[in-house]
C-alpha cells in the first residue's frame, strides 16, 4: 500500500493531505475505469490550494514503474504523459500532491469512449444551469446519444455519453460541435457557443471542445481546487433537482455508498447514426459549423 507522506499538511483550508490521499484510496476502484490507460494531466498543489498549483503533463523521473509513460509528439519535442494502470497509481499520484485528474476522451491508441458536453454558466446561477442540463439531455436523447450526468465540482455539469469503440467512429469533436450549435440555435436565450465571456450575455456556454485532440476534462470523482473540496461526482438524473455543481465534497464523500453510473460497456452507443442525425438537423436549420483553433478562435 502507498504510504502517505506529510499527512498533516493542509491541502484545503479544512482538509489535510492525509484526508485527500485517503479519499483517493477509498474511491480508487470507482475512479480507475475512467483514468486507466489514458495520458493524464495532473493538477498538483504540493503546498496546498492556497499556493500556486502545477499543471503537470510530463511524468516525473522518480515516478515508480507502475506509473506508465506515453510519449506524444509536440512542436518542440515530446510530452511523456503519466499513465495510471492500477489503484496504487491513483493513490501514489494523490500523495504527490495531485488534487485533480484531467483526462482525454480516449485511451492510449484507441478511439474516444465518451463524448463530453461541459455546461459552463456564469458563477452562481444554479437554476439556470439545471435548466440547461435538462434541455441538453433532451437534445442528446433526440439524436440518439443518451447522456450520463456529473457535477463538475465547479460551476456547472458535464453530460457524458459513453461511446462504442469497436468500429470506426465519426469525428466526435465535430459531433459535439454540432450538438452544441443545435442547442444554441433552439435555445438562444439559454445556450451560447461564444468562447469570449464578454459575448455570452449571461447564457450557459456549451463547451464542446473537451472532445478535440489534445483536450482534457476533469475525471469523474476528482476533487477540485476550491476551498470546500468539491468533487466531480457522477449522478443519476433523479438527483439533478437536489444537487448543485459543488454539493458533493470531501466531507460528504463517505455518504456516497453506491455508484450512480452504469458500466460504460453496458450503455455505450455507436455514434455513427447519431452523427448523421446531427448533420441533417444542422442542414435543416441552415447552420454551418465554423472552424476554430484550440483556443476557440476562428481558423483562417
Asked whether residue 186 carries a pLDDT value surpassing 60, the answer given is yes
Question: Exposed (0-12), middle (13-18) or buried (19+): which is 265, by Cβ within 10 Å?
Answer: exposed
The predicted model gives 17-32 an average pLDDT of 98
The predicted model gives 194-207 an average pLDDT of 95
Confidence bin at 291 (pLDDT 50/70/90):
confident
Is 110-290 in CATH node 3.40.50.1820? no
> What pLDDT is stored for residue 169 in this prediction?
81
Whether 269 and 144 have beta carbons less than 8 Å apart is answered as yes
Nine-digit cell string for 23: 479519499
> What pLDDT is stored for residue 297 in this prediction?
66
- Name the least confident of 54-63, 193-202, 221-230: 193-202
| 54-56/41-44 β-pairing | antiparallel
> What pLDDT is stored for residue 299 in this prediction?
61
Closest-CA residue to 140 (of 183, 108, 170, 102):
183
> What pLDDT is stored for residue 69 in this prediction?
98
The predicted model gives 226-240 an average pLDDT of 98
Confidence bin at 123 (pLDDT 50/70/90):
confident
Asked whether residue 294 carries a pLDDT value surpassing 70, the answer given is no
The predicted model gives 74-92 an average pLDDT of 96
Asked whether residue 178 carries a pLDDT value surpassing 80, the answer given is yes
Asked whether residue 12 carries a pLDDT value surpassing 80, the answer given is yes
| Chain region(s) in the chain for CATH 3.90.920.10 | 110-290
> What pLDDT is stored for residue 70 in this prediction?
97
> What pLDDT is stored for residue 166 in this prediction?
85
Q: Which carries the bigger pLDDT value, residue 34 or residue 122?
A: 34
Rounded distance, CA 223 to CA 186, Å?
Answer: 34
Confidence bin at 99 (pLDDT 50/70/90):
very high
Asked whether residue 300 carries a pLDDT value surpassing 70, the answer given is no
Asked whether residue 287 carries a pLDDT value surpassing 90, the answer given is yes
Where are any strands of DSSP class E within the chain?
Answer: 10-12, 15-16, 41-44, 54-56, 67-74, 77-84, 98-103, 114-120, 148-151, 157-162, 191-192, 204-207, 217-218, 234-235
Rounded distance, CA 116 to CA 216, Å?
Answer: 10
Rounded distance, CA 115 to CA 216, Å?
Answer: 11
Share of the chain above pLDDT 90, in %: 89
Asked whether residue 295 carries a pLDDT value surpassing 70, the answer given is no
Rounded distance, CA 67 to CA 92, Å?
Answer: 9
Whether 44 and 54 have beta carbons less than 8 Å apart is answered as yes
Distances (CA, A) of 231 to 7, 26, 211, 277: 20, 14, 21, 34
Q: How far apart are the first and last CA of the chain?
A: 52
Helix ranges, 75-171 (H):
87-95, 126-143
Closest-CA residue to 164 (of 298, 20, 26, 273):
273
The predicted model gives 273-295 an average pLDDT of 91
Share of the chain above pLDDT 70, in %: 98
The predicted model gives 212-238 an average pLDDT of 98
Asked whether residue 6 carries a pLDDT value surpassing 70, the answer given is yes
Confidence bin at 290 (pLDDT 50/70/90):
confident
What integer best gives the mean pLDDT of the chain? Answer: 95
Max Cα-Cα span within the chain: 60
Amino acid at each position: 500500500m502507498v504510504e502517505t507522506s506529510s499527512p498533516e499538511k493542509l491541502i484545503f483550508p479544512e482538509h489535510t493531505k492525509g484526508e485527500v490521499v485517503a479519499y483517493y484510496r477509498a474511491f480508487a476502484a470507482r475512479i480507475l475505469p475512467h483514468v486507466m490507460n489514458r495520458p493524464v494531466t495532473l493538477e498538483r498543489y504540493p503546498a496546498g490550494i492556497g499556493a500556486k498549483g502545477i499543471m503537470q503533463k510530463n511524468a516525473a523521473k522518480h515516478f515508480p514503474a507502475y506509473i506508465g509513460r506515453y510519449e506524444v509528439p509536440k512542436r518542440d519535442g515530446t510530452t511523456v504523459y503519466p499513465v495510471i494502470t492500477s489503484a496504487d497509481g491513483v493513490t501514489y499520484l494523490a500523495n504527490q500532491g495531485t488534487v485533480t485528474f484531467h483526462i482525454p476522451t480516449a485511451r492510449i491508441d484507441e478511439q474516444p469512449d465518451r463524448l463530453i458536453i461541459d455546461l459552463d454558466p456564469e458563477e452562481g446561477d444554479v437554476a439556470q444551469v439545471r435548466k440547461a442540463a435538462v434541455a441538453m439531455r433532451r437534445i442528446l436523447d433526440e439524436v440518439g446519444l443518451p447522456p450520463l450526468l456529473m457535477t463538475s465540482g465547479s460551476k456547472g455539469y458535464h453530460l457524458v455519453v459513453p461511446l462504442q469503440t469497436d468500429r470506426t467512429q465519426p469525428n466526435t469533436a465535430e459531433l459535439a460541435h454540432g450538438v452544441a450549435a443545435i442547442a444554441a440555435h433552439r435555445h438562444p436565450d439559454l445556450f451560447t457557443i461564444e468562447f469570449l465571456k464578454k459575448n455570452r450575455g449571461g447564457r450557459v456556454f456549451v463547451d464542446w471542445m473537451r472532445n478535440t485532440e489534445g483536450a482534457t476534462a476533469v475525471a469523474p470523482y476528482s476533487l477540485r481546487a476550491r476551498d470546500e473540496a468539491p468533487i466531480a461526482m457522477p449522478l443519476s438524473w433523479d438527483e439533478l433537482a437536489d444537487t448543485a455543481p459543488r454539493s458533493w465534497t470531501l466531507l460528504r464523500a463517505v455518504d456516497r455508498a453506491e455508484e450512480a453510473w452504469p458500466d460504460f460497456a453496458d450503455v455505450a452507443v455507436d455514434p455513427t447514426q447519431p452523427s448523421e442525425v446531427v448533420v441533417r438537423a444542422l442542414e435543416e436549420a441552415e447552420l454551418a459549423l465554423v472552424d476554430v483553433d484550440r483556443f476557440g478562435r476562428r481558423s483562417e
